[in-house]
Amino acid sequence: MKMDNTRESRNVDDRRSSSGGGGRGMPSMGMIMMIWPLLKPLLRTKFGWVIIGLGVFAWFSGFNPLSLVGMGGSSTAVVDKAKDDKEATFIKKVLASTEDVWKQQLPKYGMKYQEPEMVLYRNGTRSGCGAARSQMGPFYCPADRKVYLDLGFFDELAKRHNAPGDFAQAYVLAHEIGHHIQNMQGTLSKVQRAKQQWRSEAKQNALQVRVELQADCYAGVWAHHAQKEFGILEEGDIAEALNAASSIGDDKLQKEATGYVRPDGFTHGSSRQRREWFTKGLATGDLRQCDTFQ
């Protein structure tokens, strides 16, 4: 993507330094009390002080030493701060691009764009929708109108799902911004009310699939206008986005996890559906073509 000369969004709450990315903040009193039985005997010897010193260094470097003794959750690898900051800068520029596009486009549909905030974090943080964990992947919280993103997801997208590339990352954020537009339109609240009326999990899932596919289509609309206005695309970018959409399709993820596919358990759509709706938005640049509820 051609983003070198574009601006960074200011609507960013960067919590990486306080949630485990690129180093950590001070441990809580609760955690100190929890590990006190381990610390107390170490304080009695010089070797113990060395161990404590190494543990403190590891903690502030981004690694949780408690994971070595089965406490404090899973191990957190030391983050390459230079790489992490570069990815943060890039995704801030992508967010700015979505702001510029939707400010221009939404008035055509009788709406004024309200810019959401993006929260960058590592491992875990708090959101208006409850706890945010890296295992959850990126998500949009309608309650506080913020997108929550652990940059470590992009490593997983590239390595685990074989979907590398900067435009693959941009597609992920554009999809979450699509949910913000749905929130502004009232779509998310309508869907939530409809889900509450249905006891069938399969029906609830089917409705959620329509929400997710519309967000994919909105991501395509963003890409259409971002290219038209700012010329951000390079050769291979669209292929990266389509590959990402395919890689996180429900059928592919289910097959990888269980060995079989259960359509009534879909919550985001199949690989084919996700590709098709992103492509439709990209080709038309028209929100009206993204009605997945028909």
**DSSP for 53-95, written as a single string:** HHHHHHHHHT--GGGGGT-SSS--PPP-HHHHHHHHHHHHHHH
Query: At CB < 8 A and 24+ separation, what contacts does 252-257 make?
Result: none
Residue 17 lies in a domain: no
Question: How many structural domains does the chain have?
Answer: 2
* Pair (188, 101) in one structural domain: yes
Residue 12 lies in a domain: no
* Pair (56, 146) in one structural domain: no
pTM higher than the cut 0.85: no
Q: What are the per-10-residue average pLDDT scores of the chain (294 residues)?
A: 93 83 47 57 77 72 53 52 92 97 97 97 91 88 96 88 90 97 97 89 93 97 96 93 88 85 89 96 97 94
Question: Given this model, what pLDDT does residue 251 score?
Answer: 86
* Pair (174, 39) in one structural domain: no
Structural domain of 42: 24-69
Residue 242 lies in a domain: yes
* Pair (39, 140) in one structural domain: no
* Pair (64, 207) in one structural domain: no
- Sign of the torsion angle spanned by Cα atoms 192, 113, 240, 228: positive
* Pair (37, 150) in one structural domain: no
Question: Given this model, what pLDDT does residue 78 score?
Answer: 60
* Pair (153, 47) in one structural domain: no
Residue 8 lies in a domain: no
Question: Given this model, what pLDDT does residue 23 score?
Answer: 44
Question: Given this model, what pLDDT does residue 31 score?
Answer: 47
